[in-house]
Structure 1
């Protein structure tokens, strides 16, 4: 196995390279084979549901699991055969694993003392200041909150100046409010120290809040890699479209292709003509071909059918009837059935609520073609829609309308399915 090289022939400056990595347990393939590069100094997230292979991938980087095939590079160094303690990486686990009999200061100093460094005061003080725990140096772990314990674990991992910090579901034991606070803290710490963070999580919001780049994993492979905005705005598979939030997916047939200079593709979803940019189609574009037309619920506006004349020209439109609504404070979530597609979802921000928009009301859904993406119709509509409990969970934790859409799909109702 040769070391990864740039196009010019030199060694790649990325912090972590996985080349042809795979891991099998007997006849079960847990990971790969996959190739992955994590740039130096980035905050990188491995995102996926339980059992997708993300933690196994992290453990192979740490040296806690041996790859069945492939090579792990840290910088330009092949570390595949090195034990964990010889790799310039440290890991923070969900359990924190602090020493209960040592105070905060000694927990952080432990790694330095183990290396035989006697003068640790300045380094420990600087690290406690970084995680904003300078005033808690002499407290024991049981005297700290969960978030404070987590920061101690991060400080202890960082004090030996690893090349890479690995975070294995580090916020999973915290409540929602504290978890969101710690998301901001971890991002601040990573920005200040400037080293590579690789963060494993099943929480979509967590990955999108903190990471510069997210690798969405599914069945041991990377389904799609990109910035949070790229993945959310332009998913390339139904799994990513559904796993990162909620998507309305509508079965349609291509009737007009874009010209050589790009532009919009026209499709027919039942009797309705819709437009979408050719650049946002992750499927072959040919007249008569099938697409799943996708749009996020918050991109869609909802107008009472009696006011349809006020909708600007050039927008995609679908008529339907509200079957369910849920007021959740920041927005109202609607589920709309139409002849084109049952179970369409709309998230309307509660700025000026139209109180006529109640279940049973005839409405028009409309949105900009620029907010539309296209996916290969051969994929499953339900890919990525269920968590461990079988219920689709949006990034904000909402499940309104998800059961309706899934039930519609399972009943085989005509047309596409909004999921």
Structure 2
């Protein structure tokens, strides 16, 4: 697996210094007694990128962040920013700042004083100018004299961010920074965080258990599981081409169907399901494996009712087809979630946009169609339930 995050062209951290450069973790390991929280992690995070460590509770993502911040000592391995080895540097000596979920603002200081605090301690020049610039960047100019208790959760989050980036760290670490916000505000702040990161050009390393949050903001995501990187890549590539059942289930939802690989021809292969066959692109089949999990995302599937003669609707030429019976229909506004029982007694999930008022009802016989290029295949030796129903609420 390529553990190098792709650099973005033109990304130069603000206040570039000899400490600037890629963040590189080499064989990074952390053990707590007999428990290995982070297991020999190798990772390069490109300078100026927005990088997300995504995973459930206990996967090692927060422990990794704390080692980079200097709040935990590695059991083994090395941490570098550019050419500088910071593995054993004290936290306050590292060119790193951290934004926590709790924000940790000084309640007795104004927004302006909170943001200026670190600059004043270091006796920085032009404090007023630097604070004014970062308050403008984070759209806090009109709130400069307010105290934290007078601010909303989203405003407090922006103050914490402003206080961190005004110090121009080589790397900004974000530990579940949006976790305390409600859903609507969290989505607004996702857009704001990405805008701010793009404007300042700092390296952001964001720890989260929220898949949507990671995919919305990050250039590159590392999906972590049991102290290791399960898969690394751009959000769209991870979603469309999961490499493991854990990645397929944790990053969104997947329908995984046990199947046997059959004849291969013209860039695709016929794969036998428990009942019927589908086609899968040849480049999405694991090499040398005959027993596979065929995967398709719920929103890639279209639901068709029966014809007037009670026969399944024939899909357009080239589409895969599975028949079944609707067992549940949940209206969700922009879409409806269907559960469909297949002839081999497996329940598949479908998300279909509500383009008309006609909905399928429980008990309806339906036909499911999906394009071959929207399928993927994984080694059936992997657990099909890996990554499902993980709470991800606690730090890990």
- Would the TM-score normalized by the shorter structure come out above 0.5? yes
1:147-166 correspondence runs (5 A): 147-166=154-173
Contact 1:269 1:340 in 2 (8 A): no
Equivalent residue number for residue 352 of structure 1 = 356
Q: Where does residue 304 of structure 1 map in the other structure?
A: 305
* 2:378 alignment partner in structure 1: 375
Q: Does 1:291 align with 2:292?
A: yes
3-state SS in 1 of match to 2:53 = strand
Residue aligned with 1:322, SS: strand
Q: Is the 8 A contact 1:246 1:297 kept in 2?
A: yes
Would you say the 8 A contact 1:272–1:340 is kept in 2?
no
Comparing 344-353 with 117-126, greater Cα deviation is found at: 117-126
State the alpha-carbon separation in 2 of the partners of residues 312 and 353 from structure 1: 23
Alpha-carbon distance in 1 for matches of 2:78, 2:265 = 43
Q: Distance in 1 between matches of 2:152 and 2:194?
A: 19
Tell me if the contact between 2:21 and 2:170 (Cα under 8 Å) persists in the aligned partners. Answer: no
Paired residue for 1:339, among 323, 340, 343? 343
Sort the Cα spacing of 1:136 and 1:389 in 2 relative to 1 into closer, same or farther, 3 A.
closer
Using the TM superposition, give the Cα deviation of residue 120 of structure 1 relative to its aligned residue in structure 2, in angstroms: 1.0
Give the conservation status (yes or no) of the 8 Å contact 1:47–1:54: yes
Deviation at 1:311, TM superposition (A): 1.8
- Determine whether 1:279 maps to 2:278: no
Q: Is the 8 A contact 2:313 2:367 kept in 1?
A: no
- After the TM superposition, which residues 30-45 of structure 1 pair with which residues of structure 2 at under 5 Å, given as runs? 30-45=37-52
Does residue 184 (structure 1) correspond to residue 200 (structure 2)? The answer is no
Higher relative contact order (CA 8 A, sep 6+): 2
What is the Cα deviation at residue 32 of structure 1? 1.4
Task: Tell me by how many angstroms 1:34 deviates.
Answer: 1.2
Note if 1:266 corresponds to 2:273: no
Q: Structure 2 vs 1, CA of residues 389 and 62 (structure 1 numbering), >3 Å: closer, same or farther?
A: closer
Deviation at 1:181, TM superposition (A): 0.7
Please give the alpha-carbon distance, in whole angstroms, between the structure 1 residues aligned to 2:250 and 2:364.
30
CA deviation string 1:226-277 (max 9, x = no partner): 1110111110111111111110000001111357xxx112110023111111
The structural deviation recorded for 1:63 is: 1.1
Structure 1 residue ranges without an equivalent (≥5)? 5-12, 391-419
Quote how far apart the aligned CAs of 1:119 are: 3.6
> 1:10 maps to what in 2?
none
Are residues 14 and 315 of structure 1, via their aligned partners in 2, closer, same or farther at CA, if it must alter by over 3 Å?
farther
* 1:323 counterpart (320, 327, 347): 327
Cα RMSD, aligned residues only: 1.6
Residue in 1 that maps onto 2:16? none
Match of 1:81 in 2: 88
1:249-264, aligned counterparts within 5 Å?
249-258=256-265, 263-264=267-268
Question: Where does 1:213-252 land on structure 2 (aligned, <5 Å)?
Answer: 213-252=220-259
* Unaligned residue ranges in structure 2 (runs of 5+): 5-19
1: CA distance, partners of 2:208 / 2:51: 11
- 5 Å matches for 1:2-41? 15-41=22-48
Count residues with an aligned counterpart. 372
Q: Does 1:127 align with 2:128?
A: no
